[in-house]
Amino acid sequence: MTEAPRVLQVGPLKPSLSETLRTRYRALELPPGEASEDFLAEHGAGVTAAVTSGRTGVDAALMERLPDLRAVINFGVGYDTTDVARAVKRGITVSNTPDVLTDCVADTAVGLALDVTRGLSAADRFVRRGDWAQGPYPLMHRLSGRRIGILGLGRIGQAVATRLSAFGCPISYHSRREVPGVGYTYAATPRELAAGVDVLVVTAAGGPSSTHLVDREVLEALGADGFLVNVARGSVVDEEALVELLLAGRLRGAGLDVFAHEPQVPQALLDLDSVVLLPHLGSGTHETRAAMEQMVLDNLDAFLERGSVLTPVPEVTR
């Protein structure tokens, strides 16, 4: 009798997905911390598919302990916590959940841009504190018609551009490559992009090639009147430089859904009224998360039935 393929859950997942994996696929769950050592010694061999998310991923050390691994099924479009280069070398396929979350993440970016330029969350705090009785809320800044820079014109970047075009905003962008036919202005470097816009929206994929793409120089180029919005990964922005420039008044504000060391948020940001801080909720709606969950299960089924996934990440198809 051949052994049933072994499915391993790596890291926390949406509870309903976790439950389905346990009941329908008899998945095991990797215990956290030191307990994982004994677990892997006993169960590591035999695991053929790992189901994980951008929060945890399958790094090189874990991959090493899973000699029979053939697929990493990722809940989320971003998979920077999985060592894809190593996976490719070992012939392990990796899937993600593109498209279904594009709208919600783009909506979040627009929400952050509106909130940080108009000071909406800060105004809410103003009303709740009872400050309105002492006088009006200070004037803030327009979003409509302002120059928008998109860093990373992939699916999400393009969805942000479409939305903000409807706000009458001229759009420019920087991506690894110029995107043909989009009709937006291409900037050759992130610095050049930042220098020519009022709001810089980060939608680039995370991972080693984009680490600190938004560095001090880029933030300085954005300037004292500029706003930063990040719905991508905290690693793309030099968070220390961001905090310093905000504190020094050399950047006007930031709307952030992602941070360098989630769930930790620097105290200096918590103390600032010129920033809007969200707990990485970009795709966090019932509708989108349900679609992501279904896509994970569809990928897992495809792998178990025929050894390939439906939505492989670009690196594995090259």
Which residues in 272-301 contact ligand 8YV (CB under 6 A)? 282-283
CB of 231 to ligand 8YV, least distance (A): 9
- Stretch touching ligand 8YV by CB under 6 A, among 53-61, 84-92, 239-247, 310-318: 53-61
| 174 counts as catalytic | no
- Please tell me the distance from the alpha carbon of residue 222 to that of residue 146, in angstroms, as a whole number: 13
- Please tell me the distance from the alpha carbon of residue 218 to that of residue 243, in angstroms, as a whole number: 14
Q: Give the dihedral sign, CA 288/72/300/65.
A: negative
Q: Catalytic pick from 191, 280, 289, 293?
A: 280
Which residues in 232-261 contact ligand 8YV (CB under 6 A)? none
**Site for ligand 8YV (CB under 6 A): which residue of 9, 20, 53, 93?**
53
CB of 53 to ligand 8YV, least distance (A): 4
CB of 235 to ligand 8YV, least distance (A): 12
- Please tell me the distance from the alpha carbon of residue 55 to that of residue 52, in angstroms, as a whole number: 8
CB of 101 to ligand 8YV, least distance (A): 5
CB 203 within 8 A of CB 232: yes
Q: Catalytic pick from 233, 239, 289, 293?
A: 233
- Stretch touching ligand 8YV by CB under 6 A, among 64-72, 73-81, 153-161, 239-247: 73-81
| 305 counts as catalytic | no
**Site for ligand 8YV (CB under 6 A): which residue of 5, 44, 57, 76?**
76
- Please tell me the distance from the alpha carbon of residue 153 to that of residue 156, in angstroms, as a whole number: 7
- Stretch touching ligand 8YV by CB under 6 A, among 41-49, 51-59, 136-144, 148-156: 51-59
**What is the 3-class SS of 232-296, one letter each residue?**
CCHHHECHHHHHHHHHCCCCCEEEECCCCECCECCHHHHCCCCEEECCCCCCCCHHHHHHHHHHH
Q: Is 156 in the site for ligand 8YV (CB under 6 A)?
A: no
List all residues 6 or more positions away from 133 whose beta carbon is below 8 Å from its beta carbon: none
Q: Is 75 in the site for ligand 8YV (CB under 6 A)?
A: yes
Taking 3-state DSSP, the helix, strand and coil percentages for the chain, each rounded to the nearest 5, stand at: 40, 15, 45
**Site for ligand 8YV (CB under 6 A): which residue of 47, 49, 50, 77?**
77
Residue 154 or 282: the one with the smaller Cβ distance to ligand 8YV is 282
CB 97 within 8 A of CB 296: yes
Q: Is 54 in the site for ligand 8YV (CB under 6 A)?
A: yes
- Please tell me the distance from the alpha carbon of residue 205 to that of residue 182, in angstroms, as a whole number: 19
CB of 112 to ligand 8YV, least distance (A): 15
What are the distances in angstroms from CA 188 to CA 45, 53, 191, 221? 47, 32, 8, 14
Q: Is 101 in the site for ligand 8YV (CB under 6 A)?
A: yes
Phi and psi at residue 50, to the nearest 5° = -110, 130
Q: Is 55 in the site for ligand 8YV (CB under 6 A)?
A: yes
| 262 counts as catalytic | yes
- Please tell me the distance from the alpha carbon of residue 117 to that of residue 289, in angstroms, as a whole number: 28
- Stretch touching ligand 8YV by CB under 6 A, among 43-51, 72-80, 125-133, 169-177: 72-80
List the catalytic residues: 233, 262, 280
Residues engaged in binding ligand 8YV (CB under 6 A): 53-55, 75-78, 101, 282-283
